[in-house]
């Protein structure tokens, strides 16, 4: 058997491309954040994680350019060797302070944070317990560990408790959840999670990739619920509200020290580049100094959730700037995506395995820099397309 047979037999994407219903890997030729240009067409960007609109903020852009002038484009080495800059350590110190933890550690991507942290902390004889809607990076980090992996039904605290109750007290336990779930935009029930974890002696890690800059005054899910001291590890990415690339994990000094010396995705990867680190740090400063951006993106989110609901669209349990338009089958999802794209609105089509079967959707997401005319055009276009396709 040829190991490439599976490659030659994979035709689903090719068929979608040929039919003109392929919504992925679309090359952009320009962007100002709230809008983007593709193939000569100007689109309202309603599919970005740029929640605070900081990718084009002058201070963030200047910081990235200045870092290149000072350090060059790359460190060309791992953090262990030649790849640690004072800039990295300043970023880590300020991130830890921002989320309310003693220490933080920056990685080159958010994916690497979860791969490295979970696989380092969860060893033989340990158990890692995941929400079934957790991000793929969490699932892969659990798979890379030497521990046992268990999963509970999405946000089902009774199912979680049933699982924890069956795990022997002699086994180490780590529960990992998204603070804000990336497809549905709903929030993890952190008060109940904290209570259950403490009852069964489990540690709790929260992936705040989509919560930082949005919830808790920008400080994330734990701050949103007033439970910062009760969450053991807080993870974040720089590719959303921080307008950069990279990620971090924050927690107790000894725990971060351990991860720093055992996370393979940190040890064997080149360090986060100077312009990316500088951009993330500048974005953190803007987040701190311009809280009105956080207020505005949440105001926009409330308005759009309500408006979509009034039009007759199903938006699930979203409570954030991620607002899903649940359609339920792949063909209708692709058709709706194409019509919206043709009319100048860019959204994301989400199908299995990114979402469960029957939850195929268009993932819309909003940013603080969307103007009123953008929001009105989005709603007008969704209304027209929704009627054309028969969704409303």
In the predicted model, what is the mean pLDDT of residues 284-295?
Answer: 98
Over residues 346-387, the pLDDT tens digits come to: 999 999 999 999 999 999 999 999 999 999 999 999 999 999
pLDDT, residue 385, reads: 98
Closest to 269 (Cα-Cα) out of 146, 142, 69, 113: 113
CA 206/CA 377 separation, integer angstroms: 35
CA 37/CA 27 separation, integer angstroms: 9
Over residues 215-225, the pLDDT tens digits come to: 999 999 999 99
Over residues 67-98, the pLDDT tens digits come to: 999 999 999 999 999 999 999 999 999 999 99
Q: 20 or 5: whose pLDDT is higher?
A: 5
Q: Is the pLDDT of residue 305 over 90?
A: yes
pLDDT, residue 352, reads: 92
CA 372/CA 258 separation, integer angstroms: 48
Burial-class residue 275 by CB neighbours within 10 Å (0-12, 13-18, 19+): buried
In the predicted model, what is the mean pLDDT of residues 288-294?
Answer: 98
The Cα-based distances of 175 to 11, 26, 143 in angstroms read: 38, 36, 14
In the predicted model, what is the mean pLDDT of residues 255-266?
Answer: 98
Burial-class residue 253 by CB neighbours within 10 Å (0-12, 13-18, 19+): exposed
Over residues 99-155, the pLDDT tens digits come to: 999 999 999 999 999 999 999 999 999 999 999 999 999 999 999 999 999 999 999
Burial-class residue 312 by CB neighbours within 10 Å (0-12, 13-18, 19+): exposed
Closest to 91 (Cα-Cα) out of 278, 292, 293, 322: 278
CA 318/CA 323 separation, integer angstroms: 6
> Domains in the chain, please, with CATH?
10-45+291-389 (3.90.1150.10), 58-289 (3.40.640.10)
Residue 363's DSSP bridge partners are: 324, 348
Q: Is the pLDDT of residue 230 over 90?
A: yes
Task: Find tokens 């919504």 and name the residue.
Answer: 23
In the predicted model, what is the mean pLDDT of residues 207-212?
Answer: 98
pLDDT, residue 216, reads: 98
Confidence of residue 39 (pLDDT cuts 50, 70, 90): confident
Taken in order 11, 13, 16, 18, the sign of the CA dihedral is: negative
Q: Are 43 and 35 in contact (CB under 8 A)?
A: yes
Average pLDDT over all residues of the chain:
97
The interaxial angle of helices 190-199 and 157-166, nearest 10 deg, is: 10
């Amino acid at each position: 058997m040829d190991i490439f047979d599976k490659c030659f037999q994979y035709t689903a994407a090719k068929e979608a491309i040929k039919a003109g219903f392929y919504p992925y890997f679309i090359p952009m030729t320009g962007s100002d954040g709230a809008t983007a240009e593709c193939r000569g067409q100007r689109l309202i960007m309603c599919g970005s994680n740029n929640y605070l609109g900081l990718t084009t903020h002058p201070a963030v852009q200047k910081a990235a350019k200045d870092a290149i002038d000072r350090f060059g484009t790359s460190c060309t080495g791992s953090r262990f060797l030649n790849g640690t800059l004072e800039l990295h350590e300043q970023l880590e110190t300020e991130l830890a302070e921002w989320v309310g933890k003693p220490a933080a550690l920056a990685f080159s991507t958010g994916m690497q944070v979860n791969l490295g942290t979970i696989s380092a902390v969860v060893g033989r004889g340990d158990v890692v317990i995941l929400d079934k809607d957790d991000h793929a990076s969490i699932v892969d980090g659990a798979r890379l560990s030497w521990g046992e992996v268990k999963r509970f039904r999405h946000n089902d605290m009774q199912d979680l408790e049933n699982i924890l109750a069956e795990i022997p007290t002699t086994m180490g336990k780590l529960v990992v959840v998204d603070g804000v779930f990336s497809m549905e935009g709903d929030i993890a029930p952190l008060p109940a999670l904290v209570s259950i974890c403490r009852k069964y002696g489990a540690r709790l890690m929260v992936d705040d990739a989509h919560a930082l800059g949005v919830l808790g005054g920008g400080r994330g899910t734990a701050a949103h619920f007033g439970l910062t001291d009760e969450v053991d590890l807080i993870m974040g990415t720089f590719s959303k509200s921080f307008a950069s690339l990279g990620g971090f994990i924050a927690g107790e000094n000894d725990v971060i020290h351990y991860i720093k010396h055992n996370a393979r995705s940190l040890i064997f990867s080149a360090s986060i580049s100077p312009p990316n680190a500088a951009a993330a740090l500048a974005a953190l400063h803007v987040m701190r100094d311009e809280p009105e951006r956080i207020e505005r993106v949440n105001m926009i989110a409330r308005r759009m959730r309500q408006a979509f609901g009034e039009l007759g669209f199903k938006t699930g349990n979203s409570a954030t700037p991620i607002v899903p338009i649940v359609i339920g089958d792949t063909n209708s999802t692709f058709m709706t995506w194409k019509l919206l794209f043709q009319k100048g609105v860019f959204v994301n089509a989400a199908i299995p395995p990114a979402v469960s079967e029957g939850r195929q959707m268009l993932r819309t997401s909003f940013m603080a820099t969307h103007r009123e005319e953008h929001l009105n055009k989005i709603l007008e276009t969704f209304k027209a397309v929704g009627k054309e396709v028969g969704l409303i």
